[in-house]
């Protein structure tokens, strides 16, 4: 895309680009994504992954919805078939990375200090501390937060958003930006449904559909090993799909890519 | 929360535009933020002066262009307005829709001061 010849102007935004201004001043039309620098770095990360045939998955949810527990169970289940690696994002402590390492899997902890989300640069720095040789799937566990992480592309291929049944089935309606970005939604801790009378999984799914999101919804409990098969099957399918894309020189951006941006012709 | 990070990205981009056009400073910065972008204009407006302090845009006005949420229905083809957490077709009610506006996070345009000596207050 070009910023000089005006080919990024559309009938919809033309009136914004040219307007009379005071003497001694010029109006410059930019029409560029505000997070262009992050997006460039994210594209660079994605190239890294694609070159190595790695599937990169960004896990997002509120704190305490079971991202690390899901990873522990998933890594054990995939141990004999695939080589996995994990990037952990937290404001403080190495606790989560240590939990992953205890399962015999390579993990790098990003300590964000006070930052409420990971960005593409933090992930890139983390990649330099990791050995990606032979890695099939890289899981990036984002900072527990249903707001900010949704706005930053990290270079992942897929977003997986967790919603634990202790949180309330209307979370997708309350946090539409986050759940609209999900390529899969996992309802976690479903073993607790028996003692919770106010969480309706069907309602949670209906709220997701109201966001025009066709993502699969999987119900599971990592601790009690319920419904894990569907999730593991989905992961295997996604890895196969990633390998097929790489073989054809193609890539995939997660659902976070905004459709509106395409209409404004501001693709990188 | 993350609006300061967005403000810092905005300052970097505007600074590049100023340099690219050989201008002295920016006087007006216009951004378009849709409700689905996950960035709150009011918070960005609060964060901007912090990010812009000491830069060539510290006196610039930050202006927000309105970006209504609109969806196009893949079933009936209608284009309708939608609410943030109800992106279904306003005509037929189907949820198989595409966002055509409302998730933008764009630096639209910048007004630059090219010659400070011509400015009225100098």
Q: How many domains does chain A have?
A: 1
A87 within domain boundaries: yes
Chain B: residue nearest A27 by CA?
Answer: B111
DSSP A170-185: THHHHSHHHHHT-SEE
Nearest to B87 among A24, A30, A212 (CB): A212
Least confident of A80-94, A153-167, B54-68, B102-116: B102-116
**How confident is the model over B100-112, as a mean pLDDT?**
94
The confidence band for A25, taking pLDDT boundaries of 50, 70 and 90, is confident
CA distance B63 to chain A (A): 12
B31 pLDDT more than 80? yes
A261 within domain boundaries: no
List domains and CATH numbers for chain B.
Answer: 3-114 (3.30.2320.80)
* Residue A21: per-residue pLDDT: 58
Asked if B16 has any chain A CB less than 8 Å from its own CB, the reply is no
d(C-alpha A118, C-alpha A115), whole Å = 8
Q: Which tops the pLDDT comparison, A153 or A29?
A: A153
A117·B2 Cβ contact <8 A: yes
Instruction: Decide if A147 contacts A176 (C-beta within 8 A).
Output: no
d(C-alpha A154, C-alpha A254), whole Å = 10
A256 within domain boundaries: no
Asked if B38 has any chain A CB less than 8 Å from its own CB, the reply is yes
The ipTM of this complex is 0.80
Least confident of A22-31, A119-128, A175-184, A195-204: A22-31
Chain A residues lying within 8 Å of B6, measured CB to CB: 34-35, 151
**How confident is the model over B62-83, as a mean pLDDT?**
95
A22 within domain boundaries: no
Exposed, middle or buried by CB within 10 Å (0-12, 13-18, 19+), for A177? buried
Nearest to A212 among B71, B106, B119 (CB): B71
Chain A residues lying within 8 Å of B38, measured CB to CB: 147-148, 150-151, 177-178
Residues 6 or more apart whose CB falls under 8 angstroms from that of B102 comprise A260, B34, B35, B36, B67, B68, B69, B70, B82, B84
Q: β-strand B25-33 against B61-65: which pairing, if any?
A: parallel
* Residue A262: per-residue pLDDT: 40
A27 within domain boundaries: no
A264 within domain boundaries: no
Please count the CA atoms within 13 angstroms of the CA of B104 that sit on its side-chain side.
28
Best of A120, A260, A264 to disrupt the B interface (most B CBs within 10 Å) is A260
Asked if B47 has any chain A CB less than 8 Å from its own CB, the reply is no
A25·B36 Cβ contact <8 A: no
Nearest to B114 among A24, A145, A259 (CB): A24
Domain that holds residue A171: 45-247
CA distance B42 to chain A (A): 16
A198 pLDDT more than 60? yes
Which residue do the tokens 């270079």 mark? A155
**pTM attached to this predicted model:** 0.85
A175 pLDDT more than 80? yes
Reduce the DSSP state of residue B6 to 3 states and report it: helix
A122 within domain boundaries: yes
**CATH number of the structural domain spanning residue A176:** 3.40.50.300
Q: What would the pLDDT profile of A237-261 be if each residue is shown by its tens digit?
A: 999 999 999 999 999 988 754 443 4
Chain A residues lying within 8 Å of B27, measured CB to CB: 25
B37·A258 Cβ contact <8 A: yes
A39 within domain boundaries: no
Asked if A260 has any chain B CB less than 8 Å from its own CB, the reply is yes
């Amino acid at each position: 895309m070009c910023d000089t010849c005006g080919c990024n102007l559309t009938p919809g935004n033309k009136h914004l680009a040219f307007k009379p201004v005071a003497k001694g001043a010029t109006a410059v039309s930019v029409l560029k994504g505000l997070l262009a620098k992050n997006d460039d770095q994210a594209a660079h990360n994605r190239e890294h992954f694609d070159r190595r045939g790695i599937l990169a998955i960004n896990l997002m949810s509120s704190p305490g919805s079971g991202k690390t527990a899901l990873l522990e169970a998933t890594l054990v289940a995939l141990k004999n078939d695939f080589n996995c690696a994990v990037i952990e994002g937290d404001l403080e402590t190495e606790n989560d990375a240590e939990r992953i390492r205890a399962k015999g899997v390579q993990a790098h902890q990003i300590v964000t200090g006070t930052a409420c989300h990971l960005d593409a640069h933090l992930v890139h720095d983390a990649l330099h501390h990791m050995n990606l040789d032979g890695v099939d799937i890289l899981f990036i566990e984002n900072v527990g937060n249903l707001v900010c992480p949704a706005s930053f592309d990290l270079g992942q291929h897929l977003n997986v958003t967790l919603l634990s049944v202790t949180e309330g089935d209307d979370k997708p309606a309350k946090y539409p930006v986050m759940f609209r970005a999900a390529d899969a939604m996992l309802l976690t801790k479903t073993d607790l449904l028996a003692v919770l009378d106010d969480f309706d999984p069907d309602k949670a799914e209906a709220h997701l559909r109201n966001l025009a999101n066709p993502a699969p919804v999987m119900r599971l409990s990592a601790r009690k090993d319920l419904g894990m098969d569907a999730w593991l099957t989905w992961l295997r399918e996604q890895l196969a799909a990633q390998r097929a894309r790489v073989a054809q020189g193609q890539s995939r951006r997660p659902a976070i890519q905004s459709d509106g941006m395409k209409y404004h012709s501001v693709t990188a | 929360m993350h609006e300061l990070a967005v403000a810092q990205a905005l300052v970097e981009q505007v600074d590049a535009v100023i340099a690219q056009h050989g201008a002295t400073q920016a006087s007006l910065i216009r951004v378009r933020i849709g409700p689905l972008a996950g960035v709150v204009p009011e918070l960005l407006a609060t964060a901007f002066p912090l990010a812009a302090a000491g830069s060539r845009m510290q006196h610039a006005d930050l202006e927000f262009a309105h970006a209504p949420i609109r969806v196009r229905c893949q079933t009936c083809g209608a284009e309708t307005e939608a609410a943030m957490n109800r992106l279904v077709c306003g005509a037929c009610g189907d949820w198989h829709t595409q966002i055509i506006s409302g998730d933008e996070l764009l630096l639209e345009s910048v007004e630059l001061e090219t010659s400070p000596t011509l400015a009225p207050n100098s």
